[in-house]
């Protein structure tokens, strides 16, 4: 890490408090690859694992995840090919689900965790719920449109982003070129600065993006073909958070609701773009807190026989 406490100019008090929560880092090995994670809260408690989107990393979740540390053990994983984890020769959704489960155990979460995934990470979360559902308390999928091509992969194919490798003389120069895929109208600059800062690594005297472009080259078709078949096989409770200005339209939300047996809550995040943690993190945080509180005391609905 670059310091015990990161300060971001212009940030409100709640954001500074979140970044000041004590954080530790750890690694697990999955299929011969080093998988890095961030963690908050006391080990040995029930908890939550946060999964980032394509081309992103664990720090996209820091300011949200850290706020749960008072009650839970919380982890944010860097999937292989992302962040500070290792790279693979080939990637698969199934392998990423193994990384999520291994991270929960390696981070010291007791019992069955809840998994929260955004965008491509939501597809991974759906797969985790289908393959490892008996080991989970539930999953929350954040604006992951399983009925249309994944936005990050589509962008790679169209050469809009993640194209040729780029190197910058300084970290600040690289941060100035940080962009999200897809773009959205509104961002909180202090959140973007925090995320951008952790998106770069020093390589041979310059600064480069951390993600492995081979991820997007491999999935140049669509994540839809991988994630969609898993929806009907989810074996734990699931909730879908749909950003009002995101990629999961009302029609897509309705189709996912039907595919899940019409028992999955579909909750709209007002005024949020696809990357809700970058423009409406407190709305996102409130929705997650409400879901976790309800799941602590309620029984899940089951599809009609």
The whole-number pLDDT of residue 226 equals 76
Let me know: does 76 contact 59? Beta carbons within 8 Å: yes
Residues 255, 231: Cα–Cα separation, whole Å: 11
Q: Six-digit token pair at 16?
A: 């500074």
Give the per-residue pLDDT at 147: 75
Q: What are the tokens at 175?
A: 């941060």
pLDDT at 163: 58
Per-residue pLDDT of the chain (305 residues; tens, 9 = 90+): 444 456 677 899 999 999 999 999 999 999 999 999 999 999 999 999 999 999 999 999 999 999 999 999 999 999 999 999 999 999 999 999 999 999 999 999 999 999 999 999 999 999 999 999 999 999 999 999 987 566 666 665 544 566 567 899 999 999 999 999 899 999 999 999 999 999 999 999 999 999 998 888 777 656 666 788 898 899 899 999 999 999 999 999 999 989 888 889 999 999 999 999 999 999 999 999 999 999 998 888 776 55
Q: What is the pLDDT of residue 261?
A: 84
What b/e string do you get for 211-236 counting C-beta neighbours within 10 Å, with b at 16 or more? bbbebbebbeebbbebbbebbeebeb
Residue 150: the pLDDT is 65
Return the domain boundaries, the chain. Answer: 21-147+221-293
Q: Could you please state the CATH topology (level 3) that the domain comprising 21-147+221-293 is classified under.
A: Rossmann fold (3.40.50)
* Three-state secondary structure readout of the chain: CCCCCCCCCCCCHHHHHHHHCCEEEEEEEECCEEEEEEEECCCCCCEEEEECCCCCCHHHHHHHHHHHCCCCEEEEECCCCCCCCCCCCCCCHHHHHHHHHHHHHHCCCCCCCEEEEECHHHHHHHHHHHHCHHHCCEEEEECCCCCCCCHHHHHHHCCCCCCCCCEECCHHHHHHCCCCCCCCCCCCHHHHHHHHHCCEEEECCEEEECCCCHHHHHCCCCCHHHHHHHHHHCCCCEEEEEEEECCCCHHHHHHHHHHCCCCCCEEEEEEEECCHHHHCHHHHHHHHHHHHHHHHHCCCCCCCC
Q: What is the pTM of this model?
A: 0.94
Q: Which residue has the tokens 């995320």?
A: 195
């Amino acid at each position: 890490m670059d310091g015990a406490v990161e300060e971001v100019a212009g940030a409100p008090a709640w954001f500074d408090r979140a970044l000041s929560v004590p954080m530790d880092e750890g690694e697990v090995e999955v299929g011969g690859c080093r998988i890095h994670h961030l963690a908050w809260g006391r080990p040995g408690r029930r908890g939550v694992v946060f999964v980032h989107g394509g081309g992103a990393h664990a720090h996209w979740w820091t300011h949200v995840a850290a706020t749960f540390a008072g009650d839970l053990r919380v982890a944010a994983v860097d999937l292989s090919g992302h962040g500070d984890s290792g790279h693979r020769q080939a990637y698969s959704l199934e392998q990423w689900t193994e990384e999520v489960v291994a991270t929960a155990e390696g981070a010291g979460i007791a019992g069955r965790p809840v998994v929260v995934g955004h965008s491509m990470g939501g597809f991974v979360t759906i797969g985790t719920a289908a393959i490892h559902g008996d080991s989970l308390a539930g999953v929350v999928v954040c604006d992951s449109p399983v009925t249309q091509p994944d936005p990050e992969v589509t962008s790679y194919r169209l050469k809009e982003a993640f194209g040729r490798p780029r190197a910058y003389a300084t970290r600040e120069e690289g941060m100035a070129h940080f962009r999200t895929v897809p773009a959205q109208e509104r961002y909180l600059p202090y959140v973007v600065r925090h995320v951008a800062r952790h998106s770069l690594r020093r390589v041979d005297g310059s600064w480069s993006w951390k993600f492995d472009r081979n991820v997007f080259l491999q999935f140049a078709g669509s994540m839809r073909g991988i994630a969609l078949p898993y929806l009907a096989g989810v074996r734990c409770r699931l909730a879908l958070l749909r950003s009002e200005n995101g990629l999961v339209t009302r029609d897509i939300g309705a189709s996912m609701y039907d595919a899940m047996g019409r028992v999955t809550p579909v909750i709209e995040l007002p005024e949020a773009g696809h990357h809700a943690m970058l423009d409406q993190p407190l709305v996102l945080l409130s929705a997650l807190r409400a879901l976790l509180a309800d799941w602590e005391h309620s029984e899940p609905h089951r599809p009609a026989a």
